[in-house]
Amino acid sequence: MDNYAVVGNPIEHSLSPRIHGLFAQQTGETFRYERRLAPLDGFVESVELFAAGGARGFNVTVPFKTQAHDWVDELDDEARAAGAVNTVVLEDGKSLGCNTDGIGLVRDLLHNQGLQIQGKQVLLLGAGGAVLGVIRRLLAENPARLVIANRTVSKALTLAVRLAEEYAEVGCEITGVGLGEVAGFYDLVINGTSAGLQGTGDLIDASVVRQAVCYDMVYGSSTPFTRWAAQAGAVRALDGLGMLVEQAAAAFYLWRGVHPETDQVLTELMRERAR
């Protein structure tokens, strides 16, 4: 039987085995998918042992996405641009590192949430690995303006300048600011900072989100960011469960050559969450 896994630390909370199990039931594919806890200082040894056992691939979650980028033999364009890998394909003794986070985010926004990105004012909180994994997919949808806000202003500015040069022909205004400098109106505010796990009320002024849809890339029925955004008057406050399902579907396709229907899986997970 083909073996797959999600590798991280911590890992016991991961919904990935449940999601891929639902994909398998739906598509008739047969394989084993497990959680694998890798020591913080032992990622390489852990995945090499897994690969040596005949594994066909694995997902990577925090805090190992950068290490996975450095470990694989080859990178796809998304992973190369992001500097991070969340999906590894193992075939013929070679490892291919991919990043499906951007695909997952955009598909959830457009297809599951019914939102538009084209022509919209978008605020992206953070300039780290999570943001690097999705920002090019967001820009490919042609927003009118993209503002990158980060606690370390220089990181936001550097990223904004690089992307403005790379996407000069798109016509999107791309700027970088500090979190305390964020002001004005936005259609969509996406939280890609780790602060979303601890609470985000002090990241930006509440007035910024009062006419916006707010989206947390972290998933959970009520994350600190979604709670804060709802209290601040956001139009909608969404967590990243749909993104998790959609990035998993993209990984499933890379491994199995079949793209599962995500609607019914997301519906089932929402039903289980509500119990």
Task: Write out pLDDT tens, residues 169-202.
Answer: 888 999 999 999 999 999 999 999 876 556 655 6
CB 160 within 8 A of CB 176: yes
pTM of this prediction?
A: 0.94
| Token couple for 40 | 């913080």
**Exposed, middle or buried: residue 33 (CB in 10 Å: 0-12, 13-18, 19+)?**
buried
Distances (CA, A) of 137 to 70, 82, 131: 22, 11, 10
pLDDT for the residue 199: 60
The span from the CA of 254 to the CA of 76, in Å, is 11
Show the low-confidence residues of the chain (pLDDT under 70): 195-202
Query: Considering only CA atoms, which of 43, 244, 265 is closest in space to residue 133?
Result: 244
pLDDT for the residue 130: 86
Which domains can be identified in the chain, with CATH numbers?
Answer: 2-99+242-274 (3.40.50.10860), 115-239 (3.40.50.720)
Interior CA angle at 211 toward 150 and 163, to 5°? 35
Half-sphere exposure of 112 (CA within 13 A, CB side): 26
pLDDT for the residue 213: 98
Strand intervals (E) in 139-218: 145-150, 173-178, 188-191, 213-216
Sheet holding 74-75, edge to edge: 31-37, 2-8, 57-60, 87-91, 94-98, 74-75
> What tens digit of pLDDT does each residue of 66-93 get?
999 999 999 999 999 889 999 999 999 9
> What tens digit of pLDDT does each residue of 258-268 get?
999 999 999 99
The catalytic site residues sit at 65
Q: Give me the percent of the chain exceeding a pLDDT of 70.
A: 97
